[in-house]
Amino acid sequence: MSFKRFQKQNYIIDSANAFSSGKMSKRDFLRNMGVAGVGISAYSAGLLGKPRPFFGNVAHAQENNTPEDVANFLREAGKPFAGTTIRYTSEATPPTNILNELKSEFTELTGINVEIEIVPLEQVLAKATQDVQGQLGTYDIYYLDQAWTSTFSPDTIDPVEYYASKPDLAMPGFDFDDFSKPLVEGICEYDGKWVGLPFDIPIFTLMYRKDLLEKHGIAVPETYADFSTAVELISKEEAENNIYGTGLQAKSGHYSLECDWSQAVWGHGGSIFGADKNFSGNDAQAVEGLEWYMNLLKNSPAASVTSTWDGQWQMGASGQIAMAQSWAEFFPGWNADDSEVKGLWEMARPLQGPATLRSTDDVGFGEIPNWGHQGGSSIALSRYSKNIDAAWLFLQWACSKDIMTRCTLAGGFAPMRNSSYTDPRIVERKNLEGSGTTRHLDTVKWTIDNVMASEPDLPIWAGVANNEIPTELGKLLTGQEYGGSAKKCMDQVAKLVDAVVDEAELG
Amino acid sequence: MKTQGSRLPRWLRSEHPFPWLFPVTSLLIVFGLYPVLYSLWLSFYKRNPATRKETFLPSHNWSKLISDDRVWDAVQVTFSYACIALILQLVLGMLIALLLDSDKKGFGILRALMTLPLVVPPAVTGMMFLLMYDSSFGVISNALYSLNLLSPDAPILGTGSTALWGVIIADVWQWTPFMVLIMLAGLRALPKEPFEAASIDGATAVQSFFHLTLPMMSKIIALAVLIRGIDLFRVYDYVKVMTDSGPGTATETLTAYAGTVYFKSANFAYASTVALATLILVLVTATLFIKIFKVRF
């Protein structure tokens, strides 16, 4: 057993002892287990279906209250709806977690109760689908992953139009133009309509351990080729310390694997669909991307094939990996006070080249091949809601400048609104080393504004991205089928995906 | 003089069975029959997920089911899972029951302790084993690594050849006590005379077991196999929590596949078809078993 592993096991035992003797709270215990790579993944697997890791501090968001002008508006506008209860179902995203803590502020101002039902992502999809299928109005607000935007477009109310049509319920200074334009286009706009309001933007950037790169004299990788060379070198040199060049979110059958795969495909000049609307993940460029990914897997912790985003986060926080091209929102947690590698992580722009990106003219279904995969989401007003106006007030409050800025303060993830980046509360935390740092946000904003990639917009994408693609990839990566041939695997995926597209009469 | 019974409403004094069957029949209709019929109705419709248009096309989902390779893989996994887990639980259950079939002091407590795994929710059991299998700190994984029986490069639940065994072991840990309890009840109800006679005739313990215990216990064993077999055919919790059907489809049972189609692809019609196919498979297998082994209730 390596010393590092011994230390880790001691850390787990000490935390367990402190918890059982009452010297540590349950929250702190779970937090420590998360840092050590224990527990959170297991608990979440069953209870929350792998929520995205969140180790922010909600207290940072609770330092301020809703600004007075907004509060006055809500007090007046909310009066007719006092006592109403609105329901909203969502995945356990960091901003949803924070909003859940802040919602009492909204209730105090308006008298409107808010129930936020947090369930695994796939259940959110099933519940929302059932709701719209029967036009039930069970939920007043839907959480919509960017992959579902087109699916739910007919079932939501365009917030821009609703704002204009209901001046008495229009929050002063709401300012739609303040939302980041690429986010609006990439996350919540479909066919010229705002399906919802942008709410969350996890996006791929490169993150690296500066101490390890310096130790081995490696420059910060800029291209895919640089990255794999650096990964191989670090995995080899740090084998005794049980440190790997990178770690992946390659769990079979999970959307996280599809996210990793699609970025590898785009990064090698490929795309998911061609202009003819046929699956193109089996062409030469895409297969090259997958082979590059398979090579990374050889230099990653074995647990990569059972990890989603939370597992990858734990690899970074426990000091097990040196680099990751992954979700930028990991960065604050990896630098948090209780991280084993606090202050050692840095962020750089996502890897670019040496291949050139495929043009958007050569792809289908509105896909945008680029260097920074986005996994954003929006929250949307249900057309079938029985409390549309009460829900509309909540939606405006949740996506207002102040609340969105405060969500970022608590979690350190990228804001949706341009004004948040220049908010003094965000700016002053740029110099922080530990918890609550915002020093990575400039790189995140650059990635959003310049190189943000988006998955295809087609109504069946949610199913394909969560089922057919990651399941077959899982068979390949774990050696269950295809004998290690990326091409054979992707030919099979092409067959499956094209059949689904044909069945939906989208081809 | 009026009796107490005559003060009751007339329907409560009825000797006709219907009023007494009504409550449970209603529950069965609402929670059993209606969902099955609704699923059947759903399975006759082709749903276009893009347009949400539903077309009455009874053969669509059923022919898709027949040509779906994942269904056949899932059938194979389901049978493997059910058969292996059943054999292990049956053999271990009988062995432990024989060990605990004693009136000596302390054995009562041991028998009571056997029920503990049964009160743990299956999802929690799944999570416990998930932790114990973890490749960096899990007690089971580390023990197997130390014995050179497994490599740290091949996590138990992340490797196609071991994942199914990993899930089966969790199931066996939880449900073997159920077999123990049934076997114990059977063993303790056996008449003593045949065993005494066999002993006088010089039969060994092994001979007594194979020639007396097993034949006399056959009906109880068949019943236990039937109950557990049906349960094992519809396993979902362990698979969902521990592997989510992976890696690939190595642990994808029929119910897990139905869940995937329902939750991930939101194709309710096809998910209903897979679920109904599972029900049919269970009914056919159980009926064959009852006929072949002449199980009587």
How large is the ipTM?
0.82
With respect to residue A468, please indicate whether it lies within any of the assigned structural domains. yes
Roughly what angle, to the nearest 10 degrees, separates helices B268-293 and B58-67? 70
Facing B137 at nearest CB: one of A38, A43, A251 = A38
A302 touches chain B (CB under 8 A): yes
Q: Which residue of B has its CA nearest to A482?
A: B248
Assess whether A361 and A481 both reside in one domain: yes
What average pLDDT does range A316-341 have in this prediction?
88
With respect to residue A168, please indicate whether it lies within any of the assigned structural domains. yes
Q: How far apart are CA A233 and CA A486, in angstroms?
A: 24
Answer yes or no: do B159 and A253 touch at CB < 8 A.
no
With respect to residue A432, please indicate whether it lies within any of the assigned structural domains. no
Asked whether the predicted pLDDT for residue A8 surpasses 70, the reply is: no
Asked whether the predicted pLDDT for residue A33 surpasses 90, the reply is: no
With respect to residue A379, please indicate whether it lies within any of the assigned structural domains. no
**Per-residue pLDDT at A475:** 94
Asked whether the predicted pLDDT for residue B5 surpasses 60, the reply is: no
Of residues A338 and A289, more confidence is placed in A289
Facing A475 at nearest CB: one of B135, B158, B248 = B248
**Per-residue pLDDT at A2:** 44
Which of A104-113, A117-126, A368-377 is predicted with the least confidence, judged by mean pLDDT?
Answer: A117-126
Answer yes or no: do A45 and B247 touch at CB < 8 A.
no
Assess whether A276 and A323 both reside in one domain: yes
Residues in A closer than 8 angstroms to B249, CB to CB, are 471, 475, 480
Assess whether A198 and A211 both reside in one domain: no
Tally C-beta pairs within 8 A across A and B.
133
Q: How far apart are CA A79 and CA A183, in angstroms?
A: 33
Q: If you ran DSSP here, which 8-state letter would residue A92 be given?
A: -
**Per-residue pLDDT at A507:** 74
- pLDDT tens digits, one per residue of B252-261: 999 999 999 9
The total of other beta-carbon atoms located within 10 Å of residue A427's CB is 12
Mean pLDDT of chain B: 90
Helix (H) and strand (E) counts in chain B: 14, 2
Answer yes or no: do B137 and A251 touch at CB < 8 A.
no
What average pLDDT does range A207-232 have in this prediction?
96
- pLDDT tens digits, one per residue of A54-95: 556 666 666 667 778 888 999 999 999 999 999 998 888 888
Q: Which domains does chain B have, with CATH numbers?
A: 54-293 (1.10.3720.10)
Q: Which residues of B touch A (CB under 8 A)?
A: 48-52, 123-124, 126-127, 130-131, 134-137, 152-155, 157-160, 240-242, 244-250, 260-268
**Per-residue pLDDT at B78:** 96
Q: Which residue of A has its CA nearest to B129?
A: A42
Assess whether A359 and A329 both reside in one domain: yes
Per-residue pLDDT band for A100 (boundaries 50, 70, 90) equals confident
Mean pLDDT of chain A: 86
Residue tagged 């064993």 (tokens):
B221
Are B38 and B213 in contact by the 8 Å Cβ rule? The answer is no
Q: Which residue of A has its CA nearest to B242?
A: A45
Assess whether A406 and A496 both reside in one domain: no
In the numeric block, which tokens belong to residue A165?
A: 């049509």
**Per-residue pLDDT at A155:** 92
Are A381 and A388 in contact by the 8 Å Cβ rule? The answer is yes
With respect to residue A79, please indicate whether it lies within any of the assigned structural domains. yes
Asked whether the predicted pLDDT for residue A43 surpasses 50, the reply is: no
Assess whether A181 and A317 both reside in one domain: no
Residues in A closer than 8 angstroms to B261, CB to CB, are 467
What average pLDDT does range A26-34 have in this prediction?
50
The CA-atom distances, in angstroms, between A31 and each of A92, A171, A333, A340 are 16, 38, 11, 12
Answer yes or no: do A302 and B126 touch at CB < 8 A.
no
What average pLDDT does range A227-238 have in this prediction?
96
**Per-residue pLDDT at A412:** 67
Confirm whether pTM is higher than 0.80. Answer: yes
**Per-residue pLDDT at B135:** 81
Assess whether A131 and A109 both reside in one domain: yes
Q: Please report the residues numbered 1 through 30 in chain A whose beta carbons come closer than 8 angstroms to any beta carbon of chain B.
A: 5, 8-9, 12
Are A244 and A378 in contact by the 8 Å Cβ rule? The answer is no
Asked whether the predicted pLDDT for residue B158 surpasses 50, the reply is: yes
**Per-residue pLDDT at B53:** 83
With respect to residue A445, please indicate whether it lies within any of the assigned structural domains. no
Q: How many angstroms separate the CA of residue B238 from the nearest CA in chain A?
A: 10
Assess whether A143 and A10 both reside in one domain: no
Asked whether the predicted pLDDT for residue A38 surpasses 60, the reply is: no
The CATH number for A394's domain is 3.40.190.10
Facing B155 at nearest CB: one of A303, A459, A504 = A303
Pairing of strands A85-90, A113-118: parallel
Answer yes or no: do B137 and A37 touch at CB < 8 A.
yes
**Per-residue pLDDT at B77:** 96
Q: Which residue of A has its CA nearest to B145?
A: A1
Asked whether the predicted pLDDT for residue B20 surpasses 70, the reply is: yes
> Comparing C-alpha atoms, which of A223, A248, A222 is closest to residue A235?
A248
Residues in A closer than 8 angstroms to B242, CB to CB, are 45
Asked whether the predicted pLDDT for residue A1 surpasses 90, the reply is: no
What average pLDDT does range B152-156 have in this prediction?
86
Q: How many angstroms separate the CA of residue B121 from the nearest CA in chain A?
A: 11
Per-residue pLDDT band for A48 (boundaries 50, 70, 90) equals very low
Range of the domain at A169: 59-202+385-421
The CA-atom distances, in angstroms, between B148 and each of A243, A298, A381, B165, B169 are 22, 21, 57, 18, 19
Answer yes or no: do B248 and A252 touch at CB < 8 A.
yes
Answer yes or no: do B267 and A463 touch at CB < 8 A.
yes
Assess whether A352 and A240 both reside in one domain: yes
Of residues A272 and B295, more confidence is placed in A272
- pLDDT tens digits, one per residue of A350-374: 999 889 999 999 999 989 999 999 9
- pLDDT tens digits, one per residue of B70-92: 999 999 999 999 999 999 999 99
A497 touches chain B (CB under 8 A): no
A119 touches chain B (CB under 8 A): no
A319 touches chain B (CB under 8 A): no
Assess whether A195 and A210 both reside in one domain: no
Residues in A closer than 8 angstroms to B49, CB to CB, are 151, 459-460, 463, 504
> Comparing C-alpha atoms, which of A201, A497, A237 is closest to residue A329?
A201
Asked whether the predicted pLDDT for residue A17 surpasses 60, the reply is: no
Facing A467 at nearest CB: one of B134, B247, B264 = B264
Assess whether A357 and A392 both reside in one domain: no
With respect to residue A437, please indicate whether it lies within any of the assigned structural domains. no
- Beta-bridge partner residues of A142: A89, A380
Residues in B closer than 8 angstroms to A458, CB to CB, are 50
- pLDDT tens digits, one per residue of B159-196: 888 999 999 999 999 999 999 999 999 998 999 999 99
Answer yes or no: do A506 and B153 touch at CB < 8 A.
no
**Per-residue pLDDT at B175:** 96
With respect to residue A473, please indicate whether it lies within any of the assigned structural domains. yes
Asked whether the predicted pLDDT for residue A286 surpasses 90, the reply is: yes
Assess whether A362 and A213 both reside in one domain: yes
Asked whether the predicted pLDDT for residue B105 surpasses 80, the reply is: yes
**Per-residue pLDDT at A3:** 39
Q: Which residue of B has its CA nearest to A306?
A: B158
Instruction: Give the total number of structural domains in chain A.
Output: 3
Residue tagged 């770690």 (tokens):
A247
Asked whether the predicted pLDDT for residue B222 surpasses 50, the reply is: yes
